[in-house]
A and B are shown apart, each in its own frame.
Chain A
């Protein structure tokens, strides 16, 4: 066994050979399924009037109801039900005419009542789908070629439940409950409305399974954001993902034993977790062992999963209809109103914009992956061309955001600013290099582009007399180059352009300089 396998957190045990991804998917068909939890952005919690806000001093957003004090009773939030229906409709689900909340019973200190009010066999929304498309660039790493691939991911159910509190294990080295000296519980999160979105098993992905998982969660995130139902921040836990993975011998049509990987807290982790689980399970099966049905934890640092609790000793949650609540029967006209109020959904919007802007699917993917779609659209609305808007946001600002570790939308520059800079370049008042300086100024808080131009005295030198003087100086300094140009080697002019630009500290229009040089040296 390769020694490197030892360090893999028990993912591969002695006697089992490592199996590479390509090898794994050549012999096994992966089957994936995803369960996504979304914290709704309602003003109040699901069953009481406490604010449903992230953070806050521990145990300050609490009341008898969300603390589950004896005698307290839940009253459902209309807004949370409406948001859930919005999600269900956007995912092409049927909305139940009659359904119930159910109690999921288990003991854990961060559960105030030691049961969670959830939904069981009567979810609010069922039987929908979400279409996801992998463009060539996304599919290519998995050996796929031949254009984009579209998958219709079946949605089994969308249901509404309450979130639990949060335990913090103090002392000990790991921050886990084992080895901790004591634990603290913060109930601020308890009772925040949580929507669970469960897919059907996604078949026929073949080797693309990790990319499909990634694309699904990305599409879902964009969808939820467009619906205005959640801030969908994975890093803050308002979008949490569990990934089910199983393998079956290629072409057998049998479904293998699945594992459920939790703690998958970023889009990239979703992809890595599936990838890693496919490799691990292939190694287990190759060794003639069986995959154990269990919960596994994904580790961001190592990119692998380790075993959690075994589902074979699964908890019996003793679900039963929540007797403190009456059945939920959303009136049809209310559902129709919600349907009518749905915004344009992200996939349709991207298709529309892609066509309007005349860009390729891959270019659209880049814009989306950079989180720049709204910004580019607003910049175009403010007057910039599609090419300019893309160039500034993707080439210049995205790099800046990446370098400083902030989201693109959080940069202190508005689409209107970017459109203004593009307009200044378009009118010839700025060249590319000056425009970058203006952007810097705006990001540094020096004001609007116009204010930065004025304050930094940035303007293209457009006076030919002044430029001609600089051109003459440059020619005089490099007679060898001038001779080449006179001899017909026009490309040599770039060296002189550079010299002129340097002399004018970049404030000249390079193409005009080029023209002037040629005019001087090729006059007959």
Chain B
């Protein structure tokens, strides 16, 4: 057997089920790996070794007692620190929550526990999921295992870095404007933004409610699918949760076949501003898909170019309201309560000190966009653009089964390069935002390394609402073909930790 921490989730689950290895051995191996590489990667904000071992032992005991083990029992996982956990702090990468210990588990946290998944800890993220690099975390950035001087993407960069660094075979992130796909892409792992409403948001600290979508990160498409099925499904505690069967994503990942599919290339996402190496790898992916039996065609989505500005009105508007509750009254830090100041003053001082610059920027943007007299021109207009983007998708999916584009315009950028240039930072999410606005699903699968910098490039596969299985079919086919051509998994080329 390979080093335990290099095994895939599917392999671990099978080995635990077959008794070849115990869940506690798997967990210990990953905790040791975390100890070894964490000083360089800094993927975790909180490692919960005791709770992880306890969960692993419970799986081993269940097996010993002859109990049934689920498809991911005993598999370690890195959970983004935006999901509430009763037994671990939840910070959202912000100072403002202090050492808040939530009194309840998120629905997804609970489902993971019930499935015997071993939660190793909570991963780093841009503060309240606002950012594309983890550099907005109040606790410092995470580092890309391909090149420690570069960002791991964001906001779910802690989870993507942990998966890419073999600290965990599985990670969970949340996607609001590309926060799973983009870090997945720049870390050379699989990142999935499922259909909005397919995964419960209950217990996910909200950034932008109409966009936030939890989803899996993994080193293989099959692993992502296995996690997708464990975490998904209707939740009566989330009014926006879809009451429909989970699409058969595991079967689709095993099918890994694109023959007979019609695949549309979005020309809006192959032009100016894209790194040549990214476009080169994307072009090869197009040829590969054709060689695998798919029919390729170009499908223009004219309104996609307005997605970024619309997003930067809608998401900040919702966040300005969602983040209002952090007011020092009930939880988190409290600043300036010296007995002389009013509640309003304490709220203001706490928020001034507790929130970072990007969060403040977006709260102000959103407050402005919702203000009376400006609402129609900003928030209202952005919602109209959102509708047009949804129609672009609908028209496109009348003609093709899936749409593809590069996941990001560039590969991982150096730490610090964009921190003072918000517009450049926002452009990292250019290709991922349309699916967030329209609520349909998208998956990013590695499609090689950019020749200029030797860093991973992601292929984004976009599918209609509730057709999540389709993107797994395509993603798994691309992954299998590229792995076969290369002869080894792409992550073997990651030299940052060598």
Q: Are A323 and B205 in contact (CB under 8 A)?
A: no
Q: Are B327 and A114 in contact (CB under 8 A)?
A: yes
Q: Are A70 and B325 in contact (CB under 8 A)?
A: yes
Q: Using Cβ atoms and an 8 Å threshold, which residues of chain B touch A324?
A: 206, 209, 239-240
The residue in chain B whose Cβ has the minimal distance to the Cβ of A316 is B372
At the interface, yes or no: B281 with Cβ under 8 Å from chain A?
Answer: no
Q: Using Cβ atoms and an 8 Å threshold, which residues of chain A touch B240?
A: 323-326
Q: Are B238 and A75 in contact (CB under 8 A)?
A: yes
Q: Are A69 and B331 in contact (CB under 8 A)?
A: yes
At the interface, yes or no: A113 with Cβ under 8 Å from chain B?
Answer: yes
A318 to B202: give the CA distance in the assembly, Å: 25
At the interface, yes or no: B324 with Cβ under 8 Å from chain A?
Answer: yes
Q: Are B344 and A323 in contact (CB under 8 A)?
A: no
At the interface, yes or no: B330 with Cβ under 8 Å from chain A?
Answer: yes
At the interface, yes or no: A74 with Cβ under 8 Å from chain B?
Answer: yes
At the interface, yes or no: A185 with Cβ under 8 Å from chain B?
Answer: yes
Q: Are A70 and B238 in contact (CB under 8 A)?
A: no
Q: Give the interface SS of chain B, mostly helix, strand, loop or mixed.
A: loop
At the interface, yes or no: A64 with Cβ under 8 Å from chain B?
Answer: yes
At the interface, yes or no: A466 with Cβ under 8 Å from chain B?
Answer: no
Q: Are B370 and A71 in contact (CB under 8 A)?
A: no
The residue that B239 contacts in the complex, of A103, A109, A320, A325, with Cβ under 8 A, is: A325
Rounded to whole Å, the gap between the CB of A226 and the closest CB of chain B is 32
How many A-B residue contacts, CB cutoff 8 Å?
100
The residue that A73 contacts in the complex, of B202, B331, B343, with Cβ under 8 A, is: B202
The residue in chain A whose Cβ has the minimal distance to the Cβ of B324 is A114
Report the interface size for chain B: residues with CB under 8 A from the other chain.
44
Rounded to whole Å, the gap between the CB of B106 and the closest CB of chain A is 6
The residue in chain B whose Cβ has the minimal distance to the Cβ of A315 is B372
At the interface, yes or no: A151 with Cβ under 8 Å from chain B?
Answer: no
Q: Using Cβ atoms and an 8 Å threshold, which residues of chain B touch A72?
A: 104, 202-203
A190 to B424: give the CA distance in the assembly, Å: 43
Q: Using Cβ atoms and an 8 Å threshold, which residues of chain B touch A318?
A: 320-321, 367, 370-372, 375
Q: Using Cβ atoms and an 8 Å threshold, which residues of chain B touch A316?
A: 371-372
A244 to B347: give the CA distance in the assembly, Å: 32
At the interface, yes or no: B204 with Cβ under 8 Å from chain A?
Answer: yes
In the complex where A105-B370, A325-B239 touch, is A70 in contact with B205 (Cβ < 8 A)?
Answer: yes
A73 to B206: give the CA distance in the assembly, Å: 9
Q: Are B238 and A323 in contact (CB under 8 A)?
A: no
A318 to B330: give the CA distance in the assembly, Å: 23
Q: Are A69 and B318 in contact (CB under 8 A)?
A: no
In the complex where A70-B97, A73-B202, A318-B372 touch, is A105 in contact with B239 (Cβ < 8 A)?
Answer: no
In the complex where A76-B239, A113-B325, A320-B375 touch, is A71 in contact with B209 (Cβ < 8 A)?
Answer: no
Q: Using Cβ atoms and an 8 Å threshold, which residues of chain A touch B327?
A: 107, 109, 114
Q: Are A323 and B210 in contact (CB under 8 A)?
A: yes
Among A74, A76, A109, A319, the most chain B Cβ lie within 10 Å of the Cβ of A109
Q: Using Cβ atoms and an 8 Å threshold, which residues of chain B touch A115?
A: 321, 324
Q: Are A109 and B329 in contact (CB under 8 A)?
A: yes
At the interface, yes or no: A148 with Cβ under 8 Å from chain B?
Answer: no
> What is A's interface to B at a CB cutoff of 8 Å?
64, 67-76, 103, 105, 107, 109, 112-115, 183, 185, 316, 318-320, 323-326
**Interchain Cβ contacts under 8 Å between A and B, 25 examples:** A64-B102, A69-B84, A69-B102, A69-B331, A70-B206, A70-B331, A71-B102, A74-B239, A75-B236, A75-B237, A105-B370, A107-B327, A107-B344, A109-B329, A109-B343, A112-B330, A113-B325, A114-B327, A318-B320, A318-B367, A318-B371, A320-B318, A323-B209, A323-B210, A324-B240
Other A-B contacts than A71-B205, A185-B329, A316-B372, 6 sampled, CB-CB below 8 A, are A64-B102, A71-B104, A72-B203, A75-B239, A107-B324, A318-B321
